[in-house]
Amino acid sequence: MAGYSLSKDDYLTRLKRIEGQVRGLQRMIDEDTYCIDVLTQISSITKALQNVGVGLVDEHLRHCVQDAASQSPEAGNKKIDEATAAIARLLRS
C-alpha cells in the first residue's frame, strides 16, 4: 500500500492535467510558438509536478514514516533515510 490511496483520484486528476499540458507543449513547439511562451508553460508544468512531489512526500511522512516510527525508532529511521534522500533528489531536480 503506497499510503496515498485516499487521494489517489486527486493525484490521477492532477497528473492527467500535467500530461495534457506536456502534449500542449509539443503542439506549441510544432507550431513554432514564441519560445518565451513555451518557457512560461514549462515553468507552470514544473511547478505542478513539484506540487505532486510535495504531496507524495507528505503522504510518505504521514503514513510510512509514522507507521514505522510507532513500531520502533530503527524502523522509523529507515523510512526517514529514504524520505530525506528523495527530498534531496527533488531539490536537485
**Interface residues with a second copy (CB under 8 A)?**
1-5, 8, 11-12, 15-16, 18-19, 22-23, 25-26, 29-30, 32-36, 38-40, 42-47, 49-50, 52-54, 56-62, 64-66, 69-70, 73, 76-77, 80, 82-93
In the complex, minimum distance from the CB of residue 34 to a second copy, in angstroms, rounded to a whole number? 6
Burial per residue of 67-86, b for 16 or more beta-carbon CB atoms within 10 angstroms, e otherwise: ebbeeeeeebeebbeeeeee
Instruction: Let me know: does 75 contact 69? Beta carbons within 8 Å.
Output: yes
The three three-digit cell numbers of residue 62, written as one number = 504521514
Minimum CB separation of residue 38 from a second copy in Å reads 6
